[in-house]
């Protein structure tokens, strides 16, 4: 199954992605953790050492390899063979393979069609066995949703906070996800602090649209500040409930 996690800046996309990735791995799934956010932070949230992270280049910046596989001239392959790339250029941590895509660039003066086709081919090459799962942290902004990398996604999770602007962005993302043909789109409310906020979420989302509500969790913010260590295993029951819903559907 391929899952993309999207939503407004700062709502908790990376946190939710990292938690789901670790939980799936804990349950014995092979997980491809795809950082599709140019401001990548998924690796850190997964607890991968900075020294190790700095050793892998984002796929999009591997110009020579892209040239070799795609062809260098004005003509390039539309269906490049990239079967072993994802495994070769990812960091392997137990059941997790971490892959940094880099910024999917827009053609301004230069055309990045070649690079974009390459990234899309890599996402599509993550061929899935029954116990494989791909989780992509898409980053903020909605540009990526018009790109090929969102195709083939089985479930789009849109994270939102209890606030009008965050909900508005969530609805815009939903519209775009529908436009590009993603059939299953669900919401997660994150950092919910009290009953008033919970009521706001329930007013704005139907029960069937909502995968779950994740309350503000001090352990999560302590980890972000480095007060608590980022661990490999997890203990957030609300996120685990969401994962169980994903598995059973």
Ligand X SMILES: Nc1ncnc2c1ncn2[C@@H]1O[C@H](COP(=O)(O)OP(=O)(O)OP(=O)(O)O)[C@@H](O)[C@H]1O
Instruction: Note whether 190 binds Mg ion by CB under 5 A.
Output: no
**Which string of DSSP letters, residue by residue, matches 188-221?**
EEEEE-SHHHHHHHHHHS-GGGEEEEEE--HHHH
Question: Residue 221 Cβ, how far from Mg ion at the closest point, in Å?
Answer: 15
Contact 112, 106 (CB under 8 A): yes
Q: Can you say how many angstroms the Cα of residue 195 is from the centroid of all Cα atoms in its chain?
A: 29
Contact 90, 55 (CB under 8 A): no
* The token pair that represents 197 in the structure block: 């906020």
- Residue 140: contacted member of Mg ion, ligand X, none (CB under 5 to 8 Å, by partner type): ligand X
- Residue 150: contacted member of Mg ion, ligand X, none (CB under 5 to 8 Å, by partner type): none
- 3-state secondary structure at position 10: coil
- Residue 15: contacted member of Mg ion, ligand X, none (CB under 5 to 8 Å, by partner type): ligand X
- Residue 126: contacted member of ligand X, Mg ion, none (CB under 5 to 8 Å, by partner type): none
Contact 198, 168 (CB under 8 A): no
Residue nearer to Mg ion on the CB measure, 165 or 194: 165
Would you say how long the chain is, in residues? Answer: 249
Q: Which segment (11-19, 53-61, 103-111, 168-176) binds Mg ion by CB under 5 A?
A: 11-19
Please report, as ranges, the residues that interact with ligand X according to CB under 6 A: 9-15, 37, 41, 139-140, 190-191, 214, 216-217, 220-221, 224
Q: How far apart are CA 247 and CA 249, in angstroms?
A: 6
Residue nearer to ligand X on the CB measure, 68 or 222: 222
- Residue 116: contacted member of ligand X, Mg ion, none (CB under 5 to 8 Å, by partner type): none
Instruction: Note whether 6 binds Mg ion by CB under 5 A.
Output: no
Q: What letter does residue 175 receive in the DSSP assignment?
A: H
Instruction: Note whether 116 binds Mg ion by CB under 5 A.
Output: no
Question: Residue 30 Cβ, how far from Mg ion at the closest point, in Å?
Answer: 23
Q: What letter does residue 143 receive in the DSSP assignment?
A: G
Q: Which segment (5-13, 115-123, 179-187, 221-229) binds Mg ion by CB under 5 A?
A: 5-13
Question: Residue 80 Cβ, how far from ligand X at the closest point, in Å?
Answer: 29
Residue nearer to ligand X on the CB measure, 83 or 165: 165
Q: How far apart are CA 152 and CA 236, in angstroms?
A: 29
The residues facing 155 across adjacent strands are 3, 184
Question: Residue 148 Cβ, how far from Mg ion at the closest point, in Å?
Answer: 21
Contact 156, 184 (CB under 8 A): yes
Which parts of 13-52 interact with Mg ion (CB under 5 A)?
Answer: 13-14
């Amino acid at each position: 199954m391929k899952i993309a996690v999207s939503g407004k800046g700062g709502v908790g996309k990376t946190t939710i992605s990292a938690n789901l990735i670790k939980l799936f791995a804990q349950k014995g799934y092979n997980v491809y953790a795809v950082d599709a956010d140019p401001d990548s932070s998924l690796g850190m949230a997964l607890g991968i050492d900075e020294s190790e992270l700095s050793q892998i280049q984002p796929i999009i910046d591997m110009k020579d390899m892209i040239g070799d596989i795609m062809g260098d001239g004005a003509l390039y392959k539309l269906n490049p063979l990239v079967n072993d790339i994802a495994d070769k250029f990812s960091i392997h941590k137990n059941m997790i393979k971490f892959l940094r895509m880099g910024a999917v660039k827009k053609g301004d003066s230069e055309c990045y069609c070649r690079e974009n086709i390459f990234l899309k081919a890599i996402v599509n090459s993550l061929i899935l066995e029954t116990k494989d799962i791909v989780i992509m942290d898409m980053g903020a902004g909605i540009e990526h949703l018009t790109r090929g990398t969102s195709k083939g996604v089985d479930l789009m999770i849109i994270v939102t906070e209890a606030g009008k602007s965050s909900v508005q962005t969530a609805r815009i993302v939903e519209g775009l996800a529908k436009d590009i043909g993603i059939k299953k789109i669900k919401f997660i409310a994150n950092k919910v602090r009290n009953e008033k906020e919970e009521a706001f979420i329930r007013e704005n989302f139907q029960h069937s649209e909502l995968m779950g509500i994740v309350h503000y969790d001090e352990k999560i913010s302590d980890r972000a500040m480095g007060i608590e260590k980022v661990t490999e295993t997890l203990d957030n029951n609300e996120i685990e409930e969401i994962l169980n819903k994903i598995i059973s559907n």
